[in-house]
């Protein structure tokens, strides 16, 4: 296994890219200085985990992508386990899984996956990579880009901002719920939705973070 820092960088590059991720974007995502990010990118390049092209950014190699997906798998399995066994709320899961993901052995990872029935998605609706880095074909779309006046099913909600997640939970917006966009604000892109017997306004920034599915 790699160090915590290396795993965090690989996962961050995967989430942001996984191709041509800029140093500043990577530094911002991890809360480090650009100089620190540059230094780590060089280390990752030397280890064959990243390809770096000046002025274009860092891209995961196949080896690096598999390592990143391994971390993502552990994280999302842990979120699912903590939700199903301890009943933690969605807004609590991300930080707890962040603390535990680096210490999870392959044996315990496999045992958790088997215990949970090898789930395909975590409690936030995010796809869980397979044991060999497999990701099934995603067809989820951003709520912000969805059509009006048809039934939409929420598939994914963001997991790394507890304030946004708490707002979504408070308003009953979570994976599996159905809603319908009834109008879109042409000024700022916000949307008005029907959710059950309620009407809710969702800002464009939050709507872009929620993923949905629908049938034609």
Q: How many CB atoms lie within 10 A of CB 184?
A: 17
Q: Give 44-79 pLDDT, tens digit per residue.
A: 999 999 999 988 899 999 999 999 999 999 999 999
pLDDT averaged over the chain? Answer: 94
State the average pLDDT over residues 4-10.
97
| CA 155 to the chain's CA centroid | 12
Q: Is the pLDDT of residue 216 over 70?
A: no
Q: Over pLDDT 70: what percentage of the chain?
A: 99
State the average pLDDT over residues 134-157.
92
What is the pTM for the complete model shown? 0.92
Domains and CATH numbers, the chain: 4-60 (1.10.10.10), 141-213 (2.30.30.90)
What is the Cα–Cα distance from 180 to 183, expressed in whole angstroms?
Answer: 9
Q: Give 91-124 pLDDT, tens digit per residue.
A: 999 999 999 999 999 999 999 999 999 999 999 9
Please report the pLDDT score of residue 54 as a whole number.
87
Can you spell out the DSSP letters for 28-65? Answer: HHHT--HHHHHHHHHHHHHTTSEEEETTTEEEE-HHHH
């Amino acid at each position: 296994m790699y160090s915590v820092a290396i795993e965090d960088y690989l996962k961050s590059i995967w989430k942001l890219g996984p191709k041509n991720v800029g140093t500043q974007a990577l530094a911002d995502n991890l809360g480090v200085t650009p100089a620190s990010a540059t230094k780590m990118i060089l280390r990752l390049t030397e280890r064959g985990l990243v390809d770096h092209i000046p002025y274009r950014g860092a891209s995961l190699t196949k080896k690096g992508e598999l390592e990143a997906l391994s971390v993502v798998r552990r994280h999302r399995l842990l979120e699912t386990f903590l939700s199903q066994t301890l009943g933690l709320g969605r807004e609590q899961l991300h930080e707890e899984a962040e603390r535990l993901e680096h210490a999870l052995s392959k044996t315990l990872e496999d045992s958790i996956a088997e215990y949970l029935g090898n789930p395909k998605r975590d409690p936030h609706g995010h796809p869980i990579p397979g044991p060999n880095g497999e990701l099934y074909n995603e067809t989820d779309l951003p709520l912000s880009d969805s059509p009006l006046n048809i039934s939409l099913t929420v598939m994914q909600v963001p997991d790394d901002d507890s304030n946004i997640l708490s707002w979504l939970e408070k308003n009953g917006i979570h994976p599996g719920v159905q809603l319908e966009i009834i109008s879109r604000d042409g000024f700022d892109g916000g949307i008005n939705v029907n959710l059950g017997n309620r009407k809710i306004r969702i800002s464009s920034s939050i709507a872009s973070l929620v993923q949905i599915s629908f049938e034609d």
